[in-house]
Amino acid sequence: MISETILVTGACGQLGTEIVTELRKRYGSSSVIATDVVRPTHQGLLDGPFELLDITNQAQLVALLSKYRVTQLYHLAAILSAKGEQDPKLAWHVNFTGYIAVLDAAVAYGKIAKLYFPSSIAVFGNDTPKQNTPQQTVTDANTVYGISKFAGERFSAYYYKHHGLDIRSLRYPGIISHSTMPGGGTTDYAVHIYHEAVLKGRYTSFLSADTYLPMMYMPDALKATFALMDAEAIQITERGSYNLGAMSFCPEDVAKAIRVHIPEFEIDYAPDSRQQIADTWPQSIDDSVARADWGWKPDYDLSAMTADMLHHVRERYLVTV
Ligand SMILES: NC(=O)c1ccc[n+]([C@@H]2O[C@H](COP(=O)([O-])OP(=O)(O)OC[C@H]3O[C@@H](n4cnc5c(N)ncnc54)[C@H](O)[C@@H]3O)[C@@H](O)[C@H]2O)c1
């Protein structure tokens, strides 16, 4: 086993729970320090060290990095897109001011070999090409979440250049998973729909039937994250954030994929404020730079993901078929 000590911020979230579980399989439970502003409840987080940490508290983070002799940092803590619009100042404070605190803590501590910072398709906006959105293009983000992520991308490149911090980053599309529920993003419908399909046989979507967005199943998000973090530094040509794609679908497509397994499934549509956010985002992503640099290739399409999601969601609610 490779000797690394890894600290994860925002560990109790949708991605954090799965990233910590995977890191603990790879490096051993005691070598992965989970941190968050809330205490963990998920079983996967209870088998190793946990510390309460608000990422805007730079001094506390430096103290934790020294206490555990941390070598890698996964900075996942954030306020997501839809939740961020309810309190834009809090979203900026956590997502941007908090990220600067993390970067300065890493510089002050001086022994972080690699730092992971997830960005998002939310960095794109109305004037970004919607199909096959290129790596380098217009980034006219419309939400405080997207603005803070784009500022974070540029600060990642800046700290790489001026402080030599090996920061790596992916622009995740909407992430679909069954272990934990999503934390207030615009793509959350694509998780909720599977739970409601199993529990109620019907779902009311907060995005319209034909709203296409780039999406990814959690195993592919984990695969991409670890492929990027395992790559040699020389392979990384993008020090802002890599475009990352897997599939693109709309709510009606998901409904059709679910009906293959649950023929009586019904969907209706009641778009809310999240529709306006979705309308500014790309529909599909050109991730050719990630593919060329470190061999990115997704495994799941909509039908493979749907079969797996329904299997696990049924298991969770103990529904037999
Ligand atoms: N889930 C997605 O679809 C998606 C897509 C693109 C990017 N991302 C990015 O991936 C990362 C993880 O996302 P997620 O879906 O797990 O989010 P989530 O909302 O599920 O989890 C975020 C976690 O951060 C914690 N947090 C909030 N404020 C904090 C603070 N001040 N200090 C410490 N912790 C704090 C929350 O308690 C929560 O556990 C985020 O940076 C997010 O922007 C996620």
For the stretch 172-224, pLDDT in tens is 999 999 999 998 999 999 999 999 999 999 999 999 999 999 999 999 999 99
Nearest CA to ligand 1 atom 30: 54
Whether residue 233 sits in one domain with residue 183: no
Whether residue 221 sits in one domain with residue 144: yes
Does residue 1 lie in a domain region? no
Q: Is the confidence at residue 2, as pLDDT, over 60?
A: no
How many domains would you assign to the chain? 2
Whether residue 228 sits in one domain with residue 206: no
Whether residue 222 sits in one domain with residue 192: no
For residue 131, count other CB atoms closer than 10 A to its CB. 11
Does residue 321 lie in a domain region? no
Q: Answer whether 174 contacts ligand 1 (Cβ < 6 A).
A: yes
Q: Is the confidence at residue 321, as pLDDT, over 80?
A: no
| Average confidence (pLDDT) over 289-315 | 98
Whether residue 251 sits in one domain with residue 146: no
Domain with 126 in it: what CATH number? 3.40.50.720
Q: Is the confidence at residue 1, as pLDDT, over 80?
A: no
Q: Answer whether 17 contacts ligand 1 (Cβ < 6 A).
A: no
Nearest CA to ligand 1 atom 42: 78
Q: Answer whether 52 contacts ligand 1 (Cβ < 6 A).
A: no
Whether residue 228 sits in one domain with residue 203: no
Q: Is the confidence at residue 96, as pLDDT, over 60?
A: yes
Q: Is 145 a known active-site residue?
A: yes
Confidence at residue 44, expressed as pLDDT on a 0 to 100 scale: 83
Q: Is the confidence at residue 86, as pLDDT, over 70?
A: yes
Q: How many CA atoms lie within 13 A of 102 on its CB side?
A: 30
| Average confidence (pLDDT) over 52-81 | 98
| 42-46, 90-94, 247-251: the lowest-pLDDT one | 42-46
Whether residue 34 sits in one domain with residue 114: yes
Q: Which atom of ligand 1 is nearest to the CA of 187?
A: 3
Confidence at residue 276, expressed as pLDDT on a 0 to 100 scale: 96
Greatest alpha-carbon pair distance for the chain in Å reads 58
Name the average pLDDT for the chain: 97
Domain with 278 in it: what CATH number? 3.90.25.10
Whether residue 126 sits in one domain with residue 184: no
CA of 12 to the centre of ligand 1 (A): 8
Confidence at residue 3, expressed as pLDDT on a 0 to 100 scale: 87
Confidence at residue 320, expressed as pLDDT on a 0 to 100 scale: 61
CA of 11 to the centre of ligand 1 (A): 8
Whether residue 146 sits in one domain with residue 16: yes
E strand map for 211-302: 213-217, 242-243, 247-249, 266-269
Q: Is the confidence at residue 100, as pLDDT, over 60?
A: yes
- Spatial separation of the C-alpha atoms in residues 27 and 21, rounded to whole Å: 10
Pairing assessment for the beta strands 32-36 and 50-52 based on DSSP bridges: parallel
For residue 312, count other CB atoms closer than 10 A to its CB. 13
| Average confidence (pLDDT) over 42-61 | 95
Q: What percent of the chain has pLDDT over 90?
A: 97
Does residue 290 lie in a domain region? no
- Spatial separation of the C-alpha atoms in residues 309 and 321, rounded to whole Å: 14
Q: Answer whether 283 contacts ligand 1 (Cβ < 6 A).
A: no
Whether residue 193 sits in one domain with residue 88: no
Find residue 114's DSSP bridge partners: 72
Domain containing residue 155: 6-174+217-243
Does residue 37 lie in a domain region? yes
Which two three-digit tokens encode residue 191?
């998780």
Whether residue 86 sits in one domain with residue 226: yes
pTM of the model: 0.97
Distance set, CA 248 to CA 20, 206, 228, 299 (Å) = 27, 17, 22, 14
Q: Which residue among 45, 80, 153, 177 is best mutated to probe the pocket of ligand 1, counting the most ligand atoms within 8 A of its Cβ?
A: 80
Whether residue 182 sits in one domain with residue 115: no
Q: Is the confidence at residue 89, as pLDDT, over 70?
A: yes
Which two three-digit tokens encode residue 237?
């040509």
